[in-house]
Structure 1
Amino acid sequence: MINRSLFENTGTAFTLKSDSELERAYFLFKMISSEPLVRIGTAVTNFALKAHLPVEKLIRATVFDHFCGGVNEEDCLPVIDKLYTEGVSSVLDYSVEGKAEENQFDNALEKILKIIRFCDDREAMPIVVFKPSGFGRFLLYQKKTEGVALTTEEDAEWGRIINRFDTVCKLAKEKDVEVLIDGEESWMQDAADDLVEEMMRRYNKDVTIVYNTLQLYRWDRLDYLKDLHQRAKESGFKIGMKIVRGAYMEKERDRALEKGYDSPICENKKATDDNFNDALNYILNNLKDISVFIGTHNEASCFLAMELMEAHNIAKQDNNVWFGQLYGMSDHISFNLAAQGYNVAKYIPFGPVKDVMPYLIRRAEENTSVSGQTSRELTLLKTEKRRRKL
């Protein structure tokens, strides 16, 4: 029987937070809950960094240290080790965005390979992650998705992208580290999907190493999963799938309106929730063929996953099912699930403070737009502060 009050346990949720860290978290979420403050803070931070003002220490001591693990892999080790004392694993996420040069893609490849080697022999780090656009130009994925013929130079460029994917997946297979490949905008995603599927065919023969991402605010994704499942059964490979609701909703809707095509996004939040839960149900019904990383901050979806696992007699420690949340958020889900014996991992963003700022700004803006998320964090932090006083 699932304990429906599980996520109310703030003692377990914030067990790793000192009183001062608890106060910092409360202050940050209070700030994030105000849209004008986020807007002003973002503008001031961007200006200060561009003007080379000495603000990195301040950023590091507040928002960076709350949402990020460190500036490099070694810097993240204390966070990784600390989380693992409570049974929570780590997924190091090199969160430097917006690069577009070949040498930058090669640098990103070397960074991911270094992380895989860093994961080797570290039980606390069984998974790595990267974005397709970290390994190649976004516009090239877009051209492939739209079926536009590539030039000779672009063909060679695409070949280098395939090689980067293959190099990562091959090493991950050797080291028995799972690879999550993030989803991006719909107008480049088909090319990424095809490439990830090819990696699954190569490296997911016996166990699941390579995972694609389903952004389930898209109404077509469950059908895509079912079609992929059919191909996997016919060709004899396993599917790895990270399921999330999605990260580019406004951008997707604006582009559909501007270009005059039907929006790929579900019509409302309920339709998105239903789509997510239907995909979860489908995967847990087919766990012999599909492994899942359940990336969600939604309590109802977590409860549904727990109930489905119980109904299908899926062990809590079955490596085909992982729950994941972002570092600095939803500790009431992560730590309470881990305490119950489920596989849980935190996404740990890292990178130089200045380079990680676009990620942090997006995180603040997303929290502002999902007011329920922020108010839930504040309520739980308030409850824990009160509990500690008593």
Structure 2
Amino acid sequence: MPIEISFDNTEIAFASRSDLDLRRAYLLFRTLGNRNLVECGKYLTQIGFALHLPLSPAIKATLFRQFVGGETIEECRQTIERLADYGIGTILDYSAEGKSSENSFEQTTQELLKIIARAKGDPHIPFAVFKVTGLARYELLEKASQWGGLSASEKEELERVEHRIERICRAAADAETPVFLDAEETWIQPAIDRFALEMMRKFNREKAWVWNTLQIYRWDRLSYLKELHAQAQKEGFYLGLKLVRGAYMEKERARALSKGYPDPIQPDKASTDRDFNAAVSYCLENLDRISLCAGSHNENSNYHLVQWMQKYALPENHAQIWFAQLLGMSDHLSFNLAQAGYNVVKYVPYAPVKDIVPYLIRRAEENTSVAGQVGRELDLITREIKRRREQFAAARD
């Protein structure tokens, strides 16, 4: 019999959270619901760090506490264990940003190798992940995405980038820990896609150890998925694919408008939803070649994947099918899916406070701009606080 699943069960969703945790989260999301406060906070944070003001304690007590696992791998241990207690895996996401030197790229590579070593043999850390922009200059990736025009020194630099990526992917394959390449902006994505394809050709001959990420808010990604599948079948390698909606919509539309090229983003949310669900279905129809991670905070898309798994009589814990959400968001999805036996992972970012501020600002802006996101979180938290009060009152009677 198919397992009935509901995302309305707040007792399951917030089982790992204390009353104090819920009150803090409520205040934080109330703040994030005010666009003016978010913009003001963003500006003051940037100014404060520029002036070397001691902002870290305030950040660690608010955004950091909600969305980040710690400053180091070791500091994430408590979060890893808490999630594991409820059947949820962790993806350690080294989220230091803004680095641009060869030394910093090598330091990031070493940190990613540490993550893979930490994940090896640990069922609670089933994946690793990295952004190629953590290993390469942004301008180099942009130029490399334009097909040609690299100088001799830039070609050498790009070879060093590929070597870093290959070291990471080889380590992941050796450790039997699949690794995601995160998707980024469209004007650097062609270079990232080429790296991902080359690594899949090298390391995915027996199983999908290297996974690419497709942002389905792009209108060309469903057809690209089908092209990748055809290529994998023809060349005899396995596809690992993480499907997400996308994180750069305003930036993408603004750049397309300013530079006069066609908007790469779907015309509306309904088109994105349609293609996301179609991509999920396509992957499930081709599990002989494709492994899937659905990275979505959308309730309907998570229901869609559950329903299609049931349609094909696939077990909830099918080794090739995963659900993923970000730490501190959409716990009603993650915890209810895990309770029902599905494979669920949370992205758990970590980095020194100053280095992770750009990530935290994006989370704040995302919660402000994504339609209904803050309202949904506040509603769920409010309902759980009310449920606990009523339960406490009933127990006293």
The answer to whether the superposition gives a TM-score over 0.5 is yes
Is the Cα–Cα contact under 8 Å of residues 73 and 350 in structure 2 kept in the other structure?
yes
The residue type paired with residue 130 of structure 1 is: F
Question: How big is the shift at 1:325?
Answer: 0.2
Counterpart of 1:362 in structure 2 is 362
Correspondences of 1:140-151 after superposition (within 5 Å): 140-151=140-151
Counterpart of 2:51 in structure 1 is 51
Aligned residue for 1:129, secondary structure, equals strand
Counterpart of 2:42 in structure 1 is 42
Counterpart of 1:93 in structure 2 is 93
Change (3 A) 1:4 1:253: farther
The residue type paired with residue 285 of structure 2 is: N
The residue type paired with residue 193 of structure 2 is: D
Counterpart of 1:63 in structure 2 is 63
Structure 1 distance, partners of 2:164, 2:345, is: 25
The residue type paired with residue 237 of structure 2 is: F
Structure 1 distance, partners of 2:312, 2:2, is: 14
Question: How big is the shift at 1:50?
Answer: 2.1
Structure 1 distance, partners of 2:272, 2:383, is: 30
Structure 2 distance, partners of 1:41, 1:76, is: 26
Across the two proteins, how many residue pairs are aligned to each other?
390
Structure 2, unmatched stretches of 5+, are 391-397
**Is residue 291 of structure 1 aligned with residue 291 of structure 2?**
yes
Is the Cα–Cα contact under 8 Å of residues 186 and 252 in structure 1 kept in the other structure?
yes
State the TM-score, normalized to the length of structure 1: 0.98
Question: How big is the shift at 1:371?
Answer: 3.4
Is the Cα–Cα contact under 8 Å of residues 69 and 348 in structure 1 kept in the other structure?
yes
The residue type paired with residue 204 of structure 2 is: N
**Is residue 127 of structure 1 aligned with residue 127 of structure 2?**
yes
Structure 1 distance, partners of 2:47, 2:180, is: 34
Moved more, 65-74 or 98-107: 98-107
Is the Cα–Cα contact under 8 Å of residues 243 and 293 in structure 1 kept in the other structure?
yes
**Is residue 302 of structure 1 aligned with residue 302 of structure 2?**
yes
**Is residue 78 of structure 1 aligned with residue 78 of structure 2?**
yes
Structure 1 distance, partners of 2:275, 2:178, is: 25
Is the Cα–Cα contact under 8 Å of residues 5 and 336 in structure 2 kept in the other structure?
no
* Cα deviation code 1:318-348 (max 9, x no counterpart): 1110100000000000000000000000000
Is the Cα–Cα contact under 8 Å of residues 241 and 292 in structure 2 kept in the other structure?
yes
Counterpart of 1:169 in structure 2 is 169
Structure 2 distance, partners of 1:140, 1:47, is: 29
Question: How big is the shift at 1:236?
Answer: 0.3
Question: How big is the shift at 1:275?
Answer: 1.2
Counterpart of 2:395 in structure 1 is none
Structure 1, unmatched stretches of 5+, are none
Question: How big is the shift at 1:148?
Answer: 2.7
The residue type paired with residue 313 of structure 1 is: A
Structure 1 distance, partners of 2:134, 2:227, is: 27
Identical positions, percent: 46
Aligned residue for 1:8, secondary structure, equals coil
Instruction: Give structure 1 regions of 4+ aligned residues with deviation exceeding 6 angstroms.
Output: 1-5
Structure 1 distance, partners of 2:270, 2:291, is: 25
Counterpart of 1:324 in structure 2 is 324
* Cα deviation code 1:58-107 (max 9, x no counterpart): 21112101100000000000110111000000001111112211111111
Question: How big is the shift at 1:2?
Answer: 6.2
Structure 1 distance, partners of 2:355, 2:97, is: 7
Question: How big is the shift at 1:135?
Answer: 1.2
The residue type paired with residue 29 of structure 2 is: F
* Cα deviation code 1:233-285 (max 9, x no counterpart): 01100001110000111111111111111100000111111111111111111
Counterpart of 2:393 in structure 1 is none
Is the Cα–Cα contact under 8 Å of residues 3 and 340 in structure 2 kept in the other structure?
no
Is the Cα–Cα contact under 8 Å of residues 200 and 210 in structure 1 kept in the other structure?
yes
Change (3 A) 1:268 1:2: farther
Structure 2 distance, partners of 1:191, 1:160, is: 14
* Cα deviation code 1:362-390 (max 9, x no counterpart): 11001100131110110000000000001
Is the Cα–Cα contact under 8 Å of residues 33 and 371 in structure 1 kept in the other structure?
no
**Is residue 244 of structure 1 aligned with residue 244 of structure 2?**
yes
Question: How big is the shift at 1:47?
Answer: 2.0
Structure 2 distance, partners of 1:132, 1:354, is: 20
Aligned residue for 1:219, secondary structure, equals coil
Structure 2 distance, partners of 1:370, 1:324, is: 18
Question: How big is the shift at 1:4?
Answer: 6.9
**Is residue 188 of structure 1 aligned with residue 193 of structure 2?**
no
* Cα deviation code 1:105-143 (max 9, x no counterpart): 111100100110011232210111101111111222222
Structure 2 distance, partners of 1:11, 1:282, is: 34
Aligned residue for 2:242, secondary structure, equals strand
Counterpart of 2:315 in structure 1 is 315
Structure 2 distance, partners of 1:17, 1:274, is: 34
Q: What's the C-alpha RMSD, in Å, of the aligned pairs?
A: 1.1
Counterpart of 2:253 in structure 1 is 253
Structure 2 distance, partners of 1:109, 1:235, is: 29
Question: How big is the shift at 1:5?
Answer: 6.3
Change (3 A) 1:253 1:4: farther
Change (3 A) 1:218 1:97: same
Structure 1 distance, partners of 2:132, 2:58, is: 32
Is the Cα–Cα contact under 8 Å of residues 2 and 306 in structure 1 kept in the other structure?
no
Change (3 A) 1:359 1:202: same
Structure 1 distance, partners of 2:156, 2:54, is: 43
The residue type paired with residue 13 of structure 1 is: A
**Is residue 203 of structure 1 aligned with residue 199 of structure 2?**
no
Structure 2 distance, partners of 1:147, 1:55, is: 43
Question: How big is the shift at 1:55?
Answer: 2.3
The residue type paired with residue 286 of structure 1 is: N
Structure 1 distance, partners of 2:235, 2:148, is: 28
